[in-house]
Structure 1
């Protein structure tokens, strides 16, 4: 006795997608977290948020998932025009059979590469170009991506340092005051933490940090 094998039919839209296009789409979704980390504004935003949380002295609150979600939302807001260009210039023609997979990759790389080139600092680009042996005036996508990541980390660390300085000054002032009053048994963090939060809220810190991050992208 033979058992019939069930068949699954997938129809996406009026034209549908071929098996190759469906595999490409699933691959893009699978690699999307890596793409977002490596080729978008997500890395800089997340690192700055990590510095801000450490500067405030907040160890467990807010949870890291909150900062990750906020960084992801800001990334989609900042990268919206670039994603729209990738969709219109690469995915739509490819899904309609107007270009092959290699042409699809080239068309998708161009708007992303143009955006990354605006953010990369010349010194990082020259360094990566010398390592890869390419022309820094006409770098390939791999060289540009590596220079972009290093440049993003450098920018994020610079912004994080600027966030740290006022809170470090507050820690030093609180510790000096407690020592001058002879209160050696009171941990300075017990006093400085609520004052840091009060200073951050009073200075409209969330809006300042977020707007500073958004405006730091060209």
Structure 2
């Protein structure tokens, strides 16, 4: 039974990583940063995914530790049944998702599922909570991405205006703007600022 459950978990692990952890917000923001700078292929996808995985481990470590102590270790020791281990293991994950989820998104999922209005969070099933959590993560990621885009957009506008004022209309603005954006990002230590903001955005 343990081997079957282990193989099943490995099969659904990528979906769980995207649906119930902080990975979704982090990878979207990192991808939007790459687009804002103007280098769609740099850093490569492997680098962004690896960085997002480690940041996910940092943000989710308290939750994963609770799951390990309350559910996984007792189940492996044989002191918990499968159902009890699932309930104890899902409780810390639900608590984390509820903290990040907006009430509007939860209400939308309850409405779409045509379920009865819940009286408490215990009445909300995972089928309703997980998509609501994903919607909230998408919203938060796009909000952060919008803020990330602004300074790079400003550089593009300034470069375009200067080139037009100089009469250099045939010169592609991206040719000059790209090194300026990279220089600005390096000078302000952009990676550290962005990663700190990302990790700090989870509560």
- TM-score, normalised to structure 2, is 0.94
Aligned to 1:10: none
CA RMSD of aligned residues (A): 1.1
Determine which of 146, 150, 155 is the counterpart of 1:170: 155
Query: How many Å separate the matches in 1 of 2:28 and 2:49?
Result: 10
Aligned to 2:11: 30
Residue 126 of structure 1 contacts residue 136 of structure 1 at CA under 8 Å; is this kept in 2?
no
Structure 1 residues not aligned, in runs of 5+: 1-19
Could you tell me how far 1:26 is from its partner in structure 2? 1.9
Could you tell me how far 1:30 is from its partner in structure 2? 2.1
1:44 correspondence with 2:25: yes
Determine which of 30, 41, 44 is the counterpart of 1:63: 44
**Deviation beyond 3 Å, 4+ runs, structure 1:** none
Count of aligned positions? 199
- TM-score, normalised to structure 1, is 0.88
Query: How many Å separate the matches in 2 of 1:52 and 1:111?
Result: 31
Could you tell me how far 1:56 is from its partner in structure 2? 0.2
| Mapping of residues 91-110 of structure 1, within 5 Å | 91-110=72-91
Could you tell me how far 1:137 is from its partner in structure 2? 3.2
Residue 86 of structure 1 contacts residue 108 of structure 1 at CA under 8 Å; is this kept in 2?
yes
Residue 129 of structure 1 contacts residue 136 of structure 1 at CA under 8 Å; is this kept in 2?
no
Aligned to 1:14: none
Query: How many Å separate the matches in 1 of 2:2 and 2:97?
Result: 27
Query: Which has a greater percent of helix?
Result: 2
Aligned to 1:179: 164
